[in-house]
Each structure stands twice: as structure tokens, then as C-alpha cells.
């Protein structure tokens, strides 16, 4: 296998037409927020049934500004999951609020909706669920729960662009929906994000939040009445985004085909726990993440190294974030959220991206079998 090019766990697909369109932007002299951003916001709004969409320079910025849009701040609590990229909780801290973790569900690996109600206190202001690996949280139950307690919902849909719930695209309904367009996402702008909102009043306020709070006045004047960030997107990124938007449905279809191939070719005797197989109707297969057998959890670094030696990149998405030293200093400890801890210690992210071939999947599965045999042989 060493004479075959290295296969990373993900790789963006950028076509020549998009590259040419980026070149046009560079030649135009208008590089920052401008007509390309406006065109992309309009295209995204159309995709989400006319809901207002505003772009920012990262999914993290989208989440933080969504919390600020909800007037969440010091003294407030936001319920979320420890099974996510640390940005999900960092944005809560950024606005001065407290992230309250709820354990993951062992089947979906998303936040356990059965445990949320017990975590709600008089200080709870919002729910911040995460669609891990592009598998949506049950939106029906989530929204009923939020409505029953008068809570805002900020959906961390960073990984689920193109996913659906109940036949409706994620983003076309609900409260506030945040997407990421980071380099490893199904649809990438290099970096970027957006927030889908409920009405134009929210969108206008969001525009102030994303760019220094500046209001442009007639005659070239300006006013600033409240704080704002520096989080606007460039037209360079938006040009990439317009190209990606043309292809995203094809990208996601190919991801579903590759995931199906993984399930067909996987050696079930190895003892891995595979992702839910029924996600084709809902998820976008952002990542393919089997869990190592528990007996080999401590050998994950050796598994990653063994796969790399055979020419395959493996990621770890994600460690349970409450075990990071920052959150331990806030009072969290091992054992607080055992399901998330178990998932975080055993998860491995295998190659999955649209340019892969069926033969690539077969090679990955064969490599997993080889590496696991080596690990078994090396056990004392």
C-alpha cells in the first residue's frame, strides 16, 4: 500500500470553475464583504425556504453572535453536550454565561434528550445541541422541550449542512441555526459560517453584531450604539461558497454511497461499534466514525499510527471536552458524563470525502483488519 498516495480522513473538492471565479474576485479589486457575499446569502436563504441568512468568518463566530442575539450573558446557563469540538462550549464562556453539560446518547452520540429536563434551572436560557458527524438531533423532541420551558434553541449544525429532519432541510425550520464552512466540512469556503434566523429584525441586529456595531448613515456618516465583533466574511470566501453550493447535493450523495460501502465491507467480527446505519434518510455523513472495541481503547494511538503507516489518515473527533483542564478547573471530573467519555476515548474518524472511490473504502477496511490483527498480536 505504500506506493499508493496517502489517503487523508478528509479532503475538500474545489472545481476549476470555482477556482476561476475566485480569480475573478481577486482581479476585481473588491476582496472583502461585497456582491459575492450578498449573492451567497440570497442563495442560502432560498435553500432555507426564504429565511434570512447572514454570513460570518467562522462557525464559531456564528454561534457566539447567536447567543448575543438572544441576549445571553453573565448569570445565564446554556445546556449543551460535552461531545463536540470545544468551540461549542467556548462560545458560551465568551458571552459570560455558563455551559451546562448533558451526557451523550449511546446510540446517536448526540445530546441525550432524556436527560435535558433534569439539567434545566431558573438560570437556563437556551439549548445548544450539536449534530455530531452530521446526524441531526431529533428536532421534534428538541423543539417541544424548548417550547415547554420557554428556551431559545441555538442549533450547532456546523457538521450537518444538507442533512434533513422529517423530510425538511436542517436550517429551513427551527429557531437559530448555525453552520460552519471550515475546510473539513461537507461544504467549505476555506473558513466561514452563517446563521439562519427567524426574521429580518434579527438579521439586521446580527449585521451590527458581526461588524463592530457600525450603522451606515445617509451622506457617508455612521453611528455605533452597541458592541460588535469583527466577523464579516470576504468575497473571496463567498466565491468559493457559491461554487460549493452548486455541488453540495452531489457531494452528500457520494458521501452516503461511500458510507454504505463501509457498512457492506466492514468486518463485523472486529468488535467495533459502527455509527447508526439508518442515517441515510437524515444525516449527511460528514464523518464515518466507528468506535474501537473497549479492550483496545488505550491502544488508539497505536491504531492511528498503524493506519498512517499503511497510508491512511485517521482523526479523533472528539475527546469529551469536560475532561480538558479548563473545564476540570471549573469543577468537572472523570465520571461526570460516562457515555461521552466512552465515546471520546474510542472514536476514530476514517477517510470519507466525495473524491474517494469505492476501492478506497475497500482499502481502508482491509487496513483496519490488518492493524487490528497487529494490535491483537501485540497484546500481552
**Spatial separation of the C-alpha atoms in residues 255 and 284, rounded to whole Å:** 7
Question: Given a cut of 60, is residue 2 above it in pLDDT?
Answer: no
- Cβ(154)–Cβ(111) below 8 Å: no
Return d(Cα 361, Cα 230) in angstroms, integer.
Answer: 41
For 187, counting Cβ atoms within 10 Å of its Cβ (0-12 exposed, 13-18 middle, 19+ buried), the class is buried
- Concatenating the DSSP letter of every residue in 49-101 gives TT--EEEES-HHHHHHHHHHHTT--TT-EEEE-SSS-THHHHHHHHTT-EEEE
Residues 6+ away with beta carbon under 8 Å from 67: 78, 91, 92, 94, 95, 97, 126, 154
**Mean pLDDT calculated for residue range 221-244:** 97
C-alpha cell at 46: 432560498
pLDDT given for residue 1 in this prediction? 46
CB 36 within 8 A of CB 242: yes
Report, as an integer, the average pLDDT of 18-42: 97
- pLDDT tens-digit readout, 267-308: 999 999 999 997 777 999 999 999 999 999 999 999 999 999
Task: Tally DSSP H helices, then E strands, for the chain.
Answer: 12, 11
Average pLDDT estimate for 88-108: 98
pLDDT by residue (tens digit) across 230-239?
Answer: 999 999 999 9
Contacts of residue 126, defined as CB under 8 A and 6 or more positions apart, other chains included, come to 67, 70, 72, 76, 78, 79, 151, 152, 153, 154
Residues identified as active-site:
185
- At 157-188, the pLDDT tens digits run 999 999 999 999 999 999 999 999 999 999 99
> Taking residues 333-353, what's their average pLDDT?
98
- Say which residue the cell 496517502 belongs to: 6
Tell if the pTM clears 0.85, that is, is over it: yes
Q: Could you tell me which of 129, 108, 110, 103 has the C-alpha nearest to residue 340? A: 103
**142: its cell numbers:** 428538541
Domains, the chain, ordered by start: 16-242 (3.40.640.10), 248-378 (3.90.1150.10)
Rounded to whole angstroms, how far apart are CA atoms 132 and 159?
7
* pLDDT given at position 291: 98
Q: Averaged over 231-251, what is the pLDDT?
A: 98
State how far the Cα of 266 lies from the Cα of 135, in Å rounded to an integer.
Answer: 20
pLDDT grade for 14, boundaries at 50, 70 and 90:
very high
- Cα 122 to Cα 71, 117, 223: the distances in Å are 16, 12, 36
Can you give the pLDDT at residue 4? 82
Model pLDDT for residues 123-170, shown as the tens digit of each residue: 999 999 999 999 999 999 999 999 999 999 999 999 999 999 999 999
Q: What are 49-61's pLDDT values in tens digits?
A: 999 999 999 999 9
User: Taking 50 as the threshold, does the pLDDT of residue 251 lie above it?
Assistant: yes
What single DSSP character describes residue 7? B
Amino acid at each position: 500500500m505504500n506506493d499508493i498516495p496517502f489517503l487523508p480522513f478528509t479532503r475538500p473538492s474545489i472545481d476549476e470553475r470555482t477556482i476561476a471565479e475566485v480569480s475573478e474576485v481577486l482581479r476585481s479589486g473588491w476582496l472583502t464583504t461585497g456582491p459575492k457575499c450578498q449573492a451567497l446569502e440570497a442563495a442560502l436563504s432560498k435553500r432555507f425556504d426564504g429565511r434570512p441568512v447572514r454570513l460570518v468568518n467562522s462557525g464559531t463566530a456564528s454561534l457566539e453572535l447567536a447567543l448575543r442575539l438572544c441576549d445571553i450573558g453573565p448569570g445565564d446557563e446554556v445546556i449543551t453536550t460535552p461531545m463536540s469540538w470545544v468551540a461549542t462550549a467556548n462560545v458560551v464562556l465568551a458571552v459570560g454565561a455558563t455551559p451546562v453539560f448533558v451526557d451523550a446518547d449511546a446510540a446517536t452520540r448526540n445530546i441525550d434528550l432524556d436527560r435535558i429536563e433534569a439539567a434545566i434551572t431558573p438560570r437556563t436560557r437556551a439549548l445548544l445541541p450539536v449534530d455530531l458527524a452530521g446526524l441531526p438531533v431529533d428536532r421534534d423532541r428538541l423543539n417541544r422541550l424548548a417550547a415547554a420551558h420557554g428556551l431559545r434553541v441555538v442549533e450547532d449544525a456546523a457538521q450537518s449542512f444538507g442533512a434533513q429532519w422529517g423530510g425538511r432541510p436542517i436550517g429551513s425550520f427551527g429557531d437559530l441555526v448555525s453552520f460552519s464552512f471550515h475546510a473539513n466540512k461537507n461544504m467549505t469556503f476555506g473558513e466561514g459560517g452563517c446563521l439562519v434566523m427567524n426574521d429580518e429584525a434579527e438579521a439586521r441586529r446580527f449585521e451590527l453584531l458581526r461588524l463592530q456595531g457600525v450603522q451606515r448613515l445617509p451622506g457617508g456618516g455612521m453611528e455605533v450604539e452597541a458592541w460588535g465583533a469583527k466577523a464579516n466574511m470576504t468575497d473571496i470566501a463567498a466565491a468559493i461558497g457559491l461554487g460549493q453550493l452548486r455541488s453540495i447535493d452531489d457531494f452528500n450523495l457520494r458521501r452516503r454511497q461511500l458510507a454504505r460501502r463501509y457498512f457492506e465491507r466492514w468486518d463485523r467480527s472486529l468488535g467495533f461499534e459502527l455509527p447508526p446505519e439508518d442515517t441515510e434518510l437524515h444525516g449527511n455523513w460528514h464523518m464515518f466514525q466507528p468506535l474501537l472495541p473497549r479492550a483496545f481503547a488505550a491502544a488508539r494511538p497505536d491504531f492511528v499510527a498503524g493506519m498512517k503507516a499503511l497510508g491512511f489518515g485517521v482523526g479523533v473527533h472528539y475527546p469529551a471536552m469536560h475532561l480538558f483542564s479548563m473545564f476540570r478547573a471549573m469543577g468537572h471530573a472523570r465520571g461526570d458524563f460516562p457515555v461521552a467519555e466512552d465515546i471520546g476515548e474510542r472514536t476514530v474518524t476514517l477517510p470519507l470525502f466525495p473524491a474517494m472511490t469505492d476501492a478506497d473504502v475497500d482499502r481502508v477496511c482491509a487496513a483496519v483488519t490488518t492493524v487490528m490483527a497487529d494490535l491483537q498480536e501485540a497484546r500481552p
